[in-house]
């Protein structure tokens, strides 16, 4: 029987993209809920939650998944590091895929960024630039946050190295800082560039999303994969076998 998913955030941009993609990938939308709808009864007839809504929804969704022993795919972004840390303990109690970006191309960008940050070394100044549509509520994007995490990991730096935009007389760039710049406008689905600049050369790795169907297809692929996994928190690299 086709896998039945519950879409949380069904009236949003991603909710619509998920409903459209589900049929073509052989999944059934067992329930589609948004703000104010009762989720618990709707979830009874589904095997997995696919959530693209608001960070305020994540804790109660995870508690519900635990109570009903359901798998969950979390696509919502915008949690603070402290929030995410607390939520991970809950998420680990069910099969959970949590990813800031479900596109295959971006997951390759993650792998390429790790490689570049390692090979190029500290003499290459790292900066991340992202652009999204004017309606996006959080900044920087979850994808940019993951790219930054990878650069910090490779360079053995902490979050204190991050520079969110620059304004005023900030002085010369320090060798260890990692800049992040969030642009907003129009209907841009999601652009990310990682830049490594040294004296004499610059490398830019860019991914541009032009259709949010790529995130929907990736999230649904994750849903099909995660229902067969033991409890634990996985990411898209696990789903795609990139680890």
Residue with smaller CB distance to ligand NAD, 84 or 155:
84
Give the chain's end-to-end CA distance (angstroms, integer): 30
Query: Binding residue for ligand NAD (CB under 6 A) from 43, 64, 99, 223?
Result: 99
Contact flags string 22-41 toward ligand NAD, x per CB under 6 A = ------------xx------
156 dihedral zone (left: phi>0; alpha: psi -120 to 50; beta): left
DSSP for the chain, written as a single string: -PPEEEEESTTSHHHHHHHHHHHHTT-EEEEEE-TTS-HHHHHTT-SEEEE-S-GGGHHHHHHHHHHHT-EEEE------HHHHHHHHHHHTTSEEEE-S---HHHHHHHHHHHHHHHHH-TTSEEEEEEEE-TT--SSS-HHHHHHHHHHHHHHT--GGGEEES--SS--SPPTT-EEEEEEE-TT--EEEEEEEEETTEEEEEEEEE--THHHHHHHHHHHHHHTTSPSEEE-HHHHHT--
Residue with smaller CB distance to ligand NAD, 196 or 215:
215
Is residue 107 involved in binding ligand NAD (CB under 6 A)?
Answer: no
Q: Which stretch binds ligand NAD (CB under 6 A): 63-71, 94-102, 113-121, 169-177?
A: 94-102
Is residue 237 involved in binding ligand NAD (CB under 6 A)?
Answer: no
Q: 207 an active-site residue?
A: no
Of the residues 70, 79, 136, 207, which is catalytic?
136
Q: Minimum distance from CB of 42 to ligand NAD (Å)?
A: 11
Is residue 54 involved in binding ligand NAD (CB under 6 A)?
Answer: yes
What is the Cα–Cα distance from 59 to 74, expressed in whole angstroms? 11
Contact flags string 174-213 toward ligand NAD, x per CB under 6 A = --------------------------------------x-
Q: Which stretch binds ligand NAD (CB under 6 A): 5-13, 111-119, 148-156, 177-185?
A: 5-13
Is residue 110 involved in binding ligand NAD (CB under 6 A)?
Answer: no
Q: 132 an active-site residue?
A: yes
Q: Which stretch binds ligand NAD (CB under 6 A): 69-77, 85-93, 154-162, 170-178?
A: 69-77
Catalytic residues: 132, 136
Q: Which residues bind ligand NAD (CB under 6 A)?
A: 8-9, 11-15, 34-35, 52-54, 56-57, 75-78, 99-102, 142, 212, 215
């Amino acid at each position: 029987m086709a896998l039945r998913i519950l879409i949380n955030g069904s009236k949003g941009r991603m909710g619509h993209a998920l409903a459209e993609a589900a049929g073509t990938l052989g999944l059934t939308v067992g329930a589609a809920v948004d703000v104010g709808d009762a989720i618990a009864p709707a979830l009874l007839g589904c095997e997995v939650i696919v959530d693209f809504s608001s960070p305020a929804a994540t804790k109660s969704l995870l508690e519900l998944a635990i109570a009903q022993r359901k798998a969950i795919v979390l696509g919502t972004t915008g949690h603070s590091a402290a929030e995410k840390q607390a939520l991970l303990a809950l998420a680990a109690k069910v099969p959970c895929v949590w990813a800031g970006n479900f596109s295959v191309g971006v997951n390759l960008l993650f792998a390429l960024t790790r490689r570049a940050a390692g090979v190029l070394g500290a003499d290459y100044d790292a900066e991340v630039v992202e652009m999204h549509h004017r309606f996006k509520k959080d900044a920087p994007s979850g994808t940019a946050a993951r790219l930054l995490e990878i650069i910090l990991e490779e360079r053995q730096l902490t979050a204190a190295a991050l520079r969110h935009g620059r304004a005023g007389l900030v002085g010369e760039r320090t060798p260890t800082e990692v800049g992040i710049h969030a642009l907003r406008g129009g209907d841009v689905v999601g652009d990310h560039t990682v830049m490594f600049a040294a004296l004499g050369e610059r490398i830019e790795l860019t991914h541009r999303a032009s259709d949010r169907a790529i995130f929907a297809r990736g999230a649904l692929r994750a849903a099909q994969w995660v229902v067969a996994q033991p409890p634990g928190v996985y990411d898209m690299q696990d789903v795609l076998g990139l680890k």
